[in-house]
């Protein structure tokens, strides 16, 4: 009897093993990141040929002449609602001609390929709309951080595109963090300043040169 039980058990084990099977499981697929493109229409402003006597007629801001501001259209278009911000870097670091306590929001300016600081340029957003709604709150954070505030360097409005800072956009004035959006449209107002002493002492043509880099940052 014991033999029959052992044989039956062996046969049952053989049947169970014969029916055993396995199947792999897991996850696969593709996640496509949102894509945003920024366009600056005429990002490098050409001030044209201006006689020194005309420049001397511009308003004097402390020790510099305030040259006419120029509006540069900016557009950001995303493939889907995206929390994207804009960071700014001065490519002429250390070349800001000192004017006043607002110098930290300005970008450096040299004469052509020169190395001496002869002026500066301030940049601010104007008439900015995200998804057809006027921006109610601009927010600043030092580049590579998310420490958002409604003011930038020198306690000025976050509307200024200060070098070394990132600007975020929100629809409500009470917002403390940026909103996602699909489209942004507006202007960057570029306001150049040039040293009065440099203009008065010039014996050759001056070529004011300022440069910065704008980069989209995904949060």
CATH classification of the domain holding 187: 2.60.40.1090
**Given this model, what pLDDT does residue 7 score?**
46
Cβ contact 88:123 at 8 Å: yes
**Given this model, what pLDDT does residue 115 score?**
92
Residue-wise pLDDT tens digits, 132-149: 999 999 999 999 999 999
Strand partners, 115: none
- Region 165-189: what's the mean pLDDT? 96
User: Residue 29 falls within a domain, yes or no?
Assistant: no
User: Residue 164 falls within a domain, yes or no?
Assistant: yes
What percent of the chain clears pLDDT 70, i.e. is strictly above it? 86
Domain that holds residue 43: 35-218
- Is 50 exceeded by the pLDDT of residue 3? no
Q: Is the pTM for the entire model greater than 0.85?
A: no
154 vs 198: CA distance, rounded Å = 26
156 vs 152: CA distance, rounded Å = 5
User: Residue 12 falls within a domain, yes or no?
Assistant: no
Q: Report how many domains make up the chain.
A: 1
- Is 60 exceeded by the pLDDT of residue 218? yes
Mean pLDDT of the chain: 87
User: Residue 138 falls within a domain, yes or no?
Assistant: yes
What percent of the chain clears pLDDT 90, i.e. is strictly above it? 65
Q: Ramachandran region of residue 123, left (φ > 0), alpha (ψ -120 to 50) or beta?
A: beta
Cβ contact 168:159 at 8 Å: no
- Is 80 exceeded by the pLDDT of residue 113? yes
The radius of gyration of the chain from alpha carbons, rounded to an integer in Å, stands at: 30
Question: In Å, how far are 16, 68, 81, 172, 218 from 85, measured between CA atoms?
Answer: 61, 28, 12, 16, 6
Report the C-alpha dihedral over residues 71, 124, 80, 43, rounded to 10 degrees.
40
User: Residue 10 falls within a domain, yes or no?
Assistant: no
User: Residue 6 falls within a domain, yes or no?
Assistant: no
User: Residue 20 falls within a domain, yes or no?
Assistant: no
């Amino acid at each position: 009897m014991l033999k029959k039980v052992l044989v039956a058990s062996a046969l049952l084990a053989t049947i169970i093993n014969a029916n055993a099977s396995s199947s792999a499981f897991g996850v696969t697929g593709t996640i496509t990141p949102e894509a945003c493109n920024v366009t600056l229409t005429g990002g490098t402003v050409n001030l044209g040929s201006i006689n020194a006597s005309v420049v001397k007629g511009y308003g004097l801001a402390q020790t510099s002449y305030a040259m006419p501001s120029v509006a540069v259209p900016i557009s950001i278009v995303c493939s889907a609602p995206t929390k994207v911000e804009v960071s700014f870097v001065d490519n002429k670091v250390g070349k800001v001609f000192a004017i006043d306590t607002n110098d930290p929001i300005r970008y450096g300016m040299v004469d052509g390929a020169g190395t001496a600081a002869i002026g500066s340029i301030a940049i601010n957003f104007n008439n900015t709309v995200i998804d057809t709604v006027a921006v109610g709150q601009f927010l600043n954070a030092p580049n590579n951080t998310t420490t958002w505030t409604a003011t930038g360097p020198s306690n000025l409005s976050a509307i200024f595109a200060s070098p070394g800072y990132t600007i975020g956009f929100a629809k409500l004035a009470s917002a403390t963090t940026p909103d996602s959006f699909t489209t942004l449209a507006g202007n960057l107002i570029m306001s150049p300043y040039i040293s009065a002493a440099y203009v008065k002492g010039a014996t050759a043509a001056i070529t004011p040169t300022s440069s910065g880099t704008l980069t989209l940052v995904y949060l």
